[in-house]
Structure 1
Amino acid sequence: MSVTLIILITTCIISIIAFKNQQLIDDLIFYPPAVTERKQYYRFITCGFIHANFAHLAFNMYSFWIFGEYVEILFMTLFGPVGRWYYLLMYISALVVCLLPTYFKNKTNYHYRSLGASGAVSAVIFAFIFLNPLQGIGLIFLPRELMIPGFIFGFLYLVLSSYLDKKGGGNINHSAHIWGAVYGIGFLVLTGYLFSEKNVLLSFLNAVKSYFGSF
């Protein structure tokens, strides 16, 4: 069984149980004052295994499934059998890193709470984009003809997320999406440099260069 499938099943089980258990949500949700005052650092990770509703869970896990299975295979191609553990490490650590800016901004904000795996899923998606920058990506259910190269999609996604984050309002933590995406790329570049014979950064740059050179 793949790491992706294990994470997906675990997340679905915990999230579905939590839908009808407010105490479980309160115990697992990311609540900055609980980290600041009670040192409950585990909330950085546990909040990624609960979701607001079925739609939130379905969207995150569908996106994770589409990209995660492929990224996991690519990690094993790059790093050998240990690549599966690097992949797991990226996902779990992304849950923490993507929320650090949120935490420092809301350390004593008693009205702030956050939940969901979006930050870690963003890390996985952008690892995919970095390894396959020319692969067409588009919004769900749109025809293939409307897909655009992954590196362009990723850039537009970050620009839009940054705008929405600065605009504020709503219940979506756009900051977590941004930092999860950046972390996914950074993790891949660093582990690739240290533990793989393939220069993933150079491969990405060459692919992008060849795309623009084709015009």
Structure 2
Amino acid sequence: MDNNIVMFLIIGANALVSYKGFNDISFFRKYEFHIGSIRAGEQYRMFTSAFLHADVMHLVFNMLTLYFFAPVVIVYMGMLPFVLIYLASLFCGSLLTLYFHKNDYNYRAIGASGAVTGVLYSSILLRPDMTIGLFFFIGIPAYVFGIGYLLYSIYGMRAKNDNIGHTAHFGGALGGYIITLSRMPEMIYDNTLMVVLLLIPIILLFVLAKLGKI
């Protein structure tokens, strides 16, 4: 069986659930991440919200990112570790979001970005020399994209002008980062610079939170 079939199943699930959410606001509201509802006992939202998206562009961006980076994780670590990283990053993203916004009962968020960022971070650790085609023709190092993505997420958290779960990006990145290094600890010695670089935006988030800037 083609190991990539799991990735395509995940993309399909995201597409189907998101499409339903685009056309059914009651469905969208029932399964989105909502602090008040979660704290009232609807913990399933911490999982289901990761299959909803704000619009088609949000969905396409997340699924394209997954499509480009998931095969690296699958090739180097296998299908089951990929699924573990995806799901663990999803839940880490939701848990960090709940931690940061636990007292904001009106906070809402959606998107697979936490899970996808975990896969992104894992793939960068596995292939630090990898480059990606930004807008399909501008080649940049993958680690620049990954770090820039999290730095933009800090801006998104501060701006609070959309419904995208920017906080989940950090939880997801941390999940993918920790699981990958725990399974392949030799990276800490073989690729120390990249291990440190990828940790910088995560540390920055917690520093800014401690200072009350987020």
TM-score class, shorter-chain normalisation, is 0.7 to 0.9
Structure 1 position 30 matched with structure 2 position 21: no
Q: 1:44 aligns with which of 30, 43, 46?
A: 46
Structure 1 position 19 matched with structure 2 position 26: no
The one-letter amino acid of 1:11's match is N
- 1:63/1:154 Cα in 2 relative to 1: closer, same or farther (>3 Å)? closer
Compute the displacement of 1:143 (Å): 2.6
TM-score by length of 1: 0.79
CA distance in 1, matches of 2:46, 2:86: 12
User: SS state of the match for residue 137, structure 1?
Assistant: strand
Q: 1:98 aligns with which of 72, 84, 93?
A: 93
- 1:153/1:94 Cα in 2 relative to 1: closer, same or farther (>3 Å)? same
The one-letter amino acid of 1:15's match is S
- 1:15/1:75 Cα in 2 relative to 1: closer, same or farther (>3 Å)? same
Q: How does 1:44-123 map to 2 (within 5 A)?
A: 44-76=46-78, 84-123=79-118
Compute the displacement of 1:41 (Å): 1.6
CA distance in 2, matches of 1:154, 1:59: 14
User: SS state of the match for residue 136, structure 2?
Assistant: coil
User: Contact 1:36/1:108 (CA < 8 Å) preserved in 2?
Assistant: no
User: Contact 1:51/1:116 (CA < 8 Å) preserved in 2?
Assistant: yes
Report how many aligned residue pairs link the two structures. Answer: 192
CA distance in 1, matches of 2:152, 2:58: 19
Compute the displacement of 1:112 (Å): 1.3
TM-score by length of 2: 0.79
Gaps of 5+ in 2: 196-214
CA distance in 2, matches of 1:126, 1:75: 14
CA distance in 2, matches of 1:166, 1:21: 27
Gaps of 5+ in 1: 77-83, 194-198, 209-215
Structure 1 runs of 4+ aligned residues shifted over 6 Å read none
**Which residue in the other structure is 1:196 paired with?**
none
CA distance in 2, matches of 1:143, 1:108: 42
**Which residue in the other structure is 1:150 paired with?**
142
Q: 2:189 aligns with which of 202, 205, 208?
A: 202
Q: Deviations over 1:43-78 (max 9, x none)?
A: 1111111111111111111111111123212212xx
CA distance in 2, matches of 1:60, 1:186: 21
CA distance in 2, matches of 1:188, 1:93: 11
User: SS state of the match for residue 28, structure 2?
Assistant: helix
**Which residue in the other structure is 1:186 paired with?**
178
Deviation larger for 165-174 or 20-29: 165-174
User: Contact 2:35/2:106 (CA < 8 Å) preserved in 1?
Assistant: no
CA distance in 2, matches of 1:72, 1:100: 25
User: SS state of the match for residue 98, structure 1?
Assistant: helix
Compute the displacement of 1:111 (Å): 2.2
User: SS state of the match for residue 59, structure 2?
Assistant: helix
Q: How large is the RMSD of aligned CA atoms in angstroms? A: 2.4
- Percent identity over the alignment is 29
User: Contact 1:4/1:72 (CA < 8 Å) preserved in 2?
Assistant: no
User: Contact 2:18/2:51 (CA < 8 Å) preserved in 1?
Assistant: yes
Q: Deviations over 1:130-189 (max 9, x none)?
A: 111121235223433xx2x33344334434433x15633321433221221122111111
